[in-house]
Amino acid sequence: MKSSDTLQSSYDVIVIGAGHNGLAAAAKLAKAGRSVLVLEAAAEPGGALVGREFSPGYRSAGLGHILNRLDAEAARDIGLDLAVGRSLAPTTALDGSGRAVVLRGAYGEEVEGVSAADADAFYRLRKKLIFQAAVLKRFLRRPPPRLDGVSPGDIAGFAAAGLGLLRKGRGEARDFLRMLLMNVADVADEYLADDRLKGLLAFDATLGIHLGPRSPTSLLGLYYRLTGEISGKPGGQIVPEGGMAALAPAFRRAAENAGVTIRCNTPVARVLVDRGRASGVLTEDGTEIAATVIVSAIHPQKTFLDLVDPAESDTGFIRSMRNLRSHGNVARLDLALDRLPTFSGLPADARHGRIVLVRSMEQVETAFNPAKYGEFSPDPVMEITFPSLADPSLAPPGGCTLSALVQYAPYRLKQGWESGKPAFLKILLDTLEQHAPGIGWSIAAADLMTPVDIEREYNLPGGHWHHGELQADHLLVNRPINAASRYATPVEGLYLASAGAHPGGGISALPGWNAARHILAGATP
């Protein structure tokens, strides 16, 4: 890391936030010959990918569990040097009965643990969803379409999507328009009989989104997952070699190799704007640094409600920005264990994958109910991984770490998280005990991060890793809000490039990479 005395007084580009999107944008811009400075508030780059020591000798590997949507072209383009390995990680659904459903290959190319009929039904549904997701995918790698005119690129995009749809005939094309805004529950009910499979789909569709499986449009969450691919396989997921903790350093190397200057422990206090034009930033330590392009790779609300003086934005813009729904629903539990726990029914060769504790779609829906009223789920659903399996350095020898993403845990808890947290933790540990009897004895430490803790730990307003709901009304031309939906914003020279920008969150590098390409192409709002 370069020291402060080497900092110039001006750069071509300043990127705010060294999350993976910020680093991807920085790398792309630097590769195009721009001088780029990345300013990061935290002590090291990586944003939500950075792990932390949650108990002496035990580290977490960042907020993410698996890699399932890193855009291959973007990764190549920015020179991301990451050993992804070859074998895809499985997903196991456990309902507590000891009978596991295992999805192997890319999102269940093969399914184990269900009847042949159910497996066939699942393959049919999977095929349809992957076909439909492929149609949507083409919209993720370019800015959302313009509404104030017709651009040849947009027309080509829509035409290609239409033709892609018709490739399988009118029937499939019509079915796409029917299903697009459906809820995952009705779709799953139509195809599947197995409660665990339905529960798994329900969980995957809603994880990180304030919807239940029965909420209309909840299928979008599953589509979004299936627009991701690993090694060309839609729906595939892996844990990279060295575990998820390998990601942040890889992004950092890519940026530095491209010539980016990264400066940590340097929170930005203000984006300097005068009459609609950004000219630089003011750091909290009082340093002014000039740049004609400012790329904000942090939460859009933090950007425009805090860093940019609201006096420099229009009232309607501020109003829309404040209306961006961005309250997280997911809590993160890290356990320090003195040995690898045994989950009943979990095949040994599925331990390194994703484990979802879910009984049924109804369970997910019922777990969602309290979240609507600012209460946590008394019977939550969760996704588990053992990060120390891929990265033994995370735990002392013989020990093991367990990481769980749990929903639903609303950011605004009516009773307050101070009293809510111990109560919720107890529920979680009880749930784990049911699935892995005896696990309680091997817990050396348990660390629960509510969305409020996640907000604090990762500078993530609302504790929402998508930086704004990934729901139909906050997508595409409305992500994060219409007036800032094509990376450029009403403030000339200020661009958005975080998960809050199109296409959304997850470790894809797309918001950052798209934004950088758009800037290089001479973006206008």
**Those residues with Cβ within 8 angstroms of residue 26's Cβ, 6 or more apart along the chain or in another chain:** 13, 15, 18, 36, 38, 255, 258, 260, 262, 295, 512, 516
**Which among 492, 501, 19 has a CA at the least distance from the CA of 293?**
492
What span, in angstroms and rounded, lies between the C-alpha atoms of 149 and 350?
A: 50
The contacts of residue 356 (CB under 8 Å, 6+ apart) are 91, 92, 93, 94, 199, 200, 203, 204, 381, 382, 383, 384
Residues 34-93 contacting another protein, CB under 8 A: none
Q: Give the Å distances, CA to CA, from 8 to 4, 38, 271, 375, 467.
A: 9, 12, 17, 49, 31
Q: Show contacts with another protein in window 479-498 (CB under 8 A).
A: 482-483, 485, 490
Least separation in angstroms between residue 174's CB and another protein is: 4
Least separation in angstroms between CB 151 and another protein? 13
318 counts as binding another protein under rule CB under 8 A: yes
Instruction: Identify which of residues 37 and 140 has a Cβ nearer to another protein in the complex.
Output: 140
Query: Residues 261, 102: contact at Cβ < 8 Å?
Result: no
Among 186, 433, 453, 457, binds another protein (CB under 8 A): 186
CB of 508 to another protein, least distance (A): 23
Query: Cα dihedral angle (118, 121, 125, 131), rounded to 10 degrees?
Result: 130
Q: Is 443 in the site for another protein (CB under 8 A)?
A: no
190 counts as binding another protein under rule CB under 8 A: yes
CB 216, min distance to another protein, A: 4
Q: Which of 109, 175, 338, 453 touches another protein by CB under 8 A?
A: 175
Number of chain residues interacting with another protein (CB under 8 A): 57
372 binds another protein (CB under 8 A): yes
* Burial (0-12, 13-18, 19+ Cβ within 10 Å), 170: exposed
Per CB under 8 A, 152 contacts another protein: no
Please spell the DSSP secondary structure of 209-251, one letter per residue: SS--TTSTTTHHHHHHHHH-EETTEET--B--TT-GGGHHHHH
Q: Would you call 15 helix, strand, or coil by DSSP? A: strand
478 forms part of the interface with another protein (CB under 8 A): yes
Q: Of 83 and 117, which CB lies nearer to another protein in the complex structure?
A: 117
Q: Which is nearer to another protein, 8 or 151 (CB)?
A: 151
Q: What is the number of other CB atoms lying within 10 angstroms of the CB of residue 3? A: 7
In the bound state with another protein, the residue whose beta carbon lies nearer, of 83 and 150, is: 150
By the rule CB under 8 A, 524 interacts with another protein: no
CA distance 343 to 433: 9
Complex with another protein: residue 7 or 472, whichever CB lies closer: 472
Name the residue nearer to another protein (CB basis): 306 or 338.
306
Angle at 230 between CA 224 and CA 235, to 5 degrees: 40
Residue type, 393: S
Choose, by CB under 8 A, the member of 471, 498, 508, 514 that binds another protein: 471
Q: Going residue by residue from 236 to 265, which x/- string records binding to another protein, judged by CB under 8 A?
A: ------------------------------
**In this structure, what token pair is assigned to residue 492?**
């000339």
Answer for which of 43, 232, 286, 311 binds another protein (CB under 8 A) is 311
* Residues 59 and 401 sit within 8 Å (Cβ to Cβ): yes
Taking the complex as a whole, how short is the minimal distance between the CB of residue 268 and another protein, in angstroms?
Answer: 17
Smallest separation (angstroms) from another protein to the CB of 473: 4
Q: In whole angstroms, how close is the CB of 215 to another protein at the nearest point?
A: 5
Region near another protein per CB under 8 A, out of 176-184, 227-235, 264-272, 459-467: 176-184
Q: Contact between 522 and another protein (CB under 8 A)?
A: no
State in angstroms the smallest separation of the CB of 447 from another protein: 31
Distance (Å, whole) CA 486 – CA 476: 9
The distance of closest approach from Cβ of residue 355 to another protein in the complex, given in angstroms and rounded to an integer, is 27
| Nearer of residues 197 and 390 to another protein, judged by Cβ | 197
- Answer whether 434's CB lies under 8 Å from 427's CB: no
Stretch that binds another protein, among 7-15, 41-49, 104-112, 267-275 (CB under 8 A): 267-275
Residue 173 contacts another protein per CB under 8 A = yes
Identify which of residues 214 and 354 has a Cβ nearer to another protein in the complex. 214
223 preceded by a cis bond (ω within 30 of 0): no
Amino acid code (one letter) for 52: R
Binding span for another protein by CB under 8 A among 88-96, 280-288, 294-302, 317-325: 317-325
Query: Which residues 129-148 are close enough to bind another protein by CB under 8 A?
Result: 146-148
Query: Does residue 426 bind another protein (CB under 8 A)?
Result: no
Helix axes 184-191, 219-227, angle to 10 degrees: 80
User: Measured between alpha carbons, how far is 29 from 52 in angstroms, rounded to an integer?
Assistant: 30
Q: Which window, 44-52, 369-377, 378-386, 447-455, contacts another protein (CB under 8 A)? A: 369-377
Check residue 369 for interaction with another protein (CB under 8 A): yes
Residue 523 binding another protein, by CB under 8 A = no
Report the alpha-carbon distance of residue 496 to residue 510 in Å, rounded: 12
Residue 275 near another protein by CB under 8 A: yes
Query: What distance in Å separates the CA atoms of residue 218 and residue 367, rounded to the nearest whole number?
Result: 15
Nearest to 93 by CA among 343, 320, 322: 343
Q: Are 462 and 456 in contact (CB under 8 A)?
A: no
Q: Does 290 bind another protein (CB under 8 A)?
A: no
Binding positions for another protein, rule: CB under 8 A: 146-148, 166, 170-171, 173-175, 177-183, 186, 190, 211, 214-217, 273-276, 305, 309-319, 322-323, 325, 365-366, 369, 372-373, 471-473, 476-478, 482-483, 485, 490
